[in-house]
Structure 1
Amino acid sequence: MSSIRALSACALAGLCTTLSPLPSLADVPTADVPGSSDHPVLRRFSGSLLVGFAQQDWEQRSFPDASGVAKNGDHFANPQPVEGKVTRLFYLAPQDKGPLEVFRNHQQALHAAGFKTGWSCESKDQGCVKAYFALNKNDRLRGMSWAKGDLPNMTVASGGRWPLEASISPEGGRMLVGQLTQGGRTLHLLLYSAMAQNAYTHRTATYIEIVEPKTMPTGQVTVDAGAIGQSLKAEGKISLYGLFFDTGKSEIKPESQAQLAEMAQVLKADPKLRVYIVGHTDNVGGFDANLALSLARAQAVVAALGKPPHGIEAGRLSAKGAANIAPLASNADEEGRARNRRVEMVLQ
């Protein structure tokens, strides 16, 4: 009885301490997104989880240039399109690691690797709130895979929770945009760190986009017979990219059949038509080797056109090799080299 009276007196006096349960961590992510991984050029902040991940083999993204965000409106002042393989990463740092600590660690690691900053912000006055809104939510979420879990309110017991998706915020936000050159290629990188949803989560989220240069896959559209005929009539030749070979090999691959069929259709439509089949390479490797390879590939195309179901007479076709002496573009980058690797039909 005395203990009951003591408790009541304590409560009446307002001196009792209420022991509320801590927020549940049961739903906080505990593992990375299945199938995801850090990008090779930038490792995660120690102890972080990769909770959002997307990768596209070839796509276009828009990054701000040195002018940053617009003076009027929440968007980048002069967004620059960058194309290539796109990797998007969304990290959650360990509890109570703030945005500044996470951002500085990423910044220092990048600069040590030779990163060149194009634009950055670290405060509202520098445009960080505008930068947050310029990161279009729909674009950030498109195609992302997410880890299991969400973000509980760590400040107030039973104070609710928020989904992981799009859980960056303008609170404590900092952005870094620029380029990193490694292995002879230049990558474009955008990084934004801020509180995950709000200060109540006690967690920092970091969103990263990395675009690495890569030639768009070519040869995915076969040139039809009509276009071949028109080009031969107008220019006396046509470049074809729907004929496939392994690197350094001359055996024509099965996926070339659609293009071969269109070439054969043109030849069958005009029995008097005679053409050179000319192989071209880029400038990788020695000239003599490229000359032999380009000729061997042209001969493979001639042989394929002479077989069923095409059945084009061998006397109407003449195989030639040009190696890399007639480029269509500079061989200084992969995009140009891809254009130069081709087979041409040329009127005799």
Structure 2
Amino acid sequence: MTVKKISSPSMPSCAGRALRSSLLACALAAAAPAFAAAVDKAEIDRPGGSDNRVVGRYQGSVLYLYGDTALGKVNILSAKGGKPVLLSVEGKVANRMYVAPKGASPLEVYRNYRDALTKAGFEPIYACELTACDKDGTQPMMSDRPREAVWVKSSAQADSLFNSGNQPDFSYYSGRRSGPDGITYVSIGIAGGGSFDGRVRQFIQVAEPSTTQLGKVKVDAKAIEAGLKRDGKMALYGVNFDTNKALLRDDSAAQLTEMAAVLKAAPALKVFIVGHTDNQGEFGANTTLSQKRAEAVVAALSGKYGIAPTRLIARGVANLAPVSANDNEDGRAKNRRVEMVVR
């Protein structure tokens, strides 16, 4: 990628300063407006940004804007009856806006992306080129997508990328690729004309498989007590173990404290501590693992928190009692849990 050199502006206000650090700070402050102007003109990449690992850039393009979300939902276009419809997908979302080099045509840029995605194993969900997109009314359906995206900085250029759906030379592609962790989705909108001296603008969204990391919120004693009275049991996701291990992690302490508080407040209460796993791996191994995890919780409650061992019975049931489907990682995360069950 060719980056135009930014000439150093004059810095009269720095004259006479003795300290090297002061001179450096002054130089950076004076250069900032020119640097920002270069970004706004898409002459250099947006500071701090980089290409997404799934989809890179058209050769010679400049990264104008970027934004990432650990877990979010985005709307891409799918097909129903041959026509575009909105499809909501969830995952780790990467938003990128690029500006192509001068001389690149919108159709050339679009077909390069589509060819690269095909070679990378993506199958199209919906795709159209130029007049076919006009006929399907595709671009108006994309006009809000950049405005809904998460960016590191607000930008009128990004918000109006597809304007009201009337930008010239518009093409669109959405595709999916299955992998061991789930489905990755890609959505690409290409438009010519408009800002940046008519250079081709590229809006790319990638949604990779991601899950909610459970166990970051403890269930307090009042909620545990209410759950036990209401349902006779309470699922606790704040009791944490590393994968395939039965050693309690340090971040389980807060949840164990609340469990102990419930038991201390009701001296007559006796409970099963039940370990659950997802369906990954052999059932026998999961049964053993879930039993050892339940025993680790009992040992902690009795040894560290002073709960009489006779009030606690550990049981491991592997994946015999799921609370969600095991065919996706979010469901499996919900199934990996420890429960208190009234005896």
TM range (shorter): 0.7 to 0.9
Q: Does 1:41 align with 2:54?
A: yes
Give the CA deviation at 1:176.
1.5
* Selected match of 1:269 from 265, 268, 290: 265
TM-score, scaled to structure 1: 0.77
The alpha-carbon deviation at position 259 of structure 1 amounts to 1.4
- 1:227 is aligned to 223
CA–CA separation in structure 1 for the residues paired with 2:232 and 2:205: 45
CA distance in structure 1 between the partners assigned to 2:233 and 2:259 by the alignment: 12
Question: 1:253 deviation in Å?
Answer: 1.6
Greater shift in the superposed pair: 298-307 or 51-60: 298-307
Among 283, 286, 303, the residue aligned to 2:282? 286
Q: Check whether the contact 2:42–2:63 (CA below 8 A) recurs between aligned residues.
A: no
Letter in 1 for 2:152: M
* Range that drifts further, 236-245 or 28-37: 28-37
Q: 2:152 corresponds to which residue? A: 144
Post-superposition offset of 1:313: 1.7
Aligned 1:150-165 pairs, distance under 5 A: 165=158
Q: Which has the higher helix share?
A: 2
* Residue 295 of structure 2 is aligned to residue 299 of structure 1: yes
Q: In 1, Cα distance between the equivalents of 2:52 and 2:161?
A: 20
Distance change in 2, residues 1:35/1:182 (3 Å):
farther
Does the CA contact (< 8 Å) of 2:190 and 2:201 recur in 1? yes
- What is the alpha-carbon root mean square deviation over aligned residues? 2.9
Deviation at 1:315, TM superposition (A): 1.8
Change (3 A) 1:280 1:55: same
Which residue in 2 is equivalent to 1:214? Answer: 210
2:126 aligned partner, one-letter code: W
Deviations 1:70-122 (A, max 9, x none): 9xxxxxx7533211111111112112212111011111222333433232333
- Determine the C-alpha separation between the residues in 1 that align with 2:293 and 2:69: 31
Q: Which has the larger radius of gyration?
A: 1
* Alpha-carbon distance between aligned partners in 2 of 1:340 and 1:210, rounded to the nearest angstrom: 28
Contact 2:143 2:161 survives alignment (8 Å): no
SS of the aligned residue for 2:254 comes to helix
The residue number in structure 2 matching 1:112 is 119
- Aligned match of 1:319 in 314, 321, 324? 314
Determine whether 1:97 maps to 2:90: no
C-alpha deviation, 1:68, in angstroms: 9.7
Q: What is the deviation of 1:181? A: 2.3
Partner of 2:31: none
Matches within 5 A, 1:157-196: 165-166=158-159, 168-169=161-162, 170-183=167-180, 185-195=182-192
What TM-score results when the alignment is normalised by the length of structure 2?
Answer: 0.78
Does the C-alpha gap of structure 1 residues 293 and 136 become closer, same or farther in structure 2, counting only changes over 3 Å?
Answer: same
2:322 counterpart SS class: coil
Residue 133 of structure 1 is matched in structure 2 by: 143
Give 1:219 shift: 2.2
Is the Cα contact below 8 Å between 2:72 and 2:93 reproduced in 1? yes
Residue pair 2:175, 2:186 contacting (<8 A) in 1 also: yes
CA distance in 1, matches of 2:256, 2:181: 36
Partners in 1 of 2:107 and 2:235 — Cα distance? 54
1:248-268 CA-to-partner distances (Å, cap 9, x unmatched) read: 222212222221122112111
Q: How far apart, in 1, do the equivalents of 2:328 and 2:145 lie?
A: 30
**For residues 160 and 102 of structure 2, what CA distance do their matches in structure 1 show?**
15
Q: Which amino acid aligns with 1:324?
A: N
Contact 1:168 1:193 in 2 (8 A): no
Cα gap change, 1:45 to 1:167, in 2 (>3 Å): farther
Count of aligned pairs between the two proteins: 300
Residue 295 of structure 1: CA displacement? Answer: 1.8
Q: Which residue, 77, 85, 90 being the options, matches 2:92?
A: 85
**1:186 alignment partner AA:** I
Counterparts of 1:182 and 1:38 in 2: how far apart (Å)? 21
Instruction: Tell me the amino acid that sits aligned with residue 199 of structure 2.
Output: R
Inter-partner Cα distance in structure 2 for 1:113 and 1:171: 28
Query: Which letter does structure 2 place at the counterpart of 1:79?
Result: L
The answer on whether the counterparts of 1:131 and 1:175 sit within 8 Å (CA) in structure 2 is: no
Q: Deviations over 1:157-202 (max 9, x none)?
A: xxxxx9754463412221212322244621222111112634x614
| Percent sequence identity over aligned pairs | 39
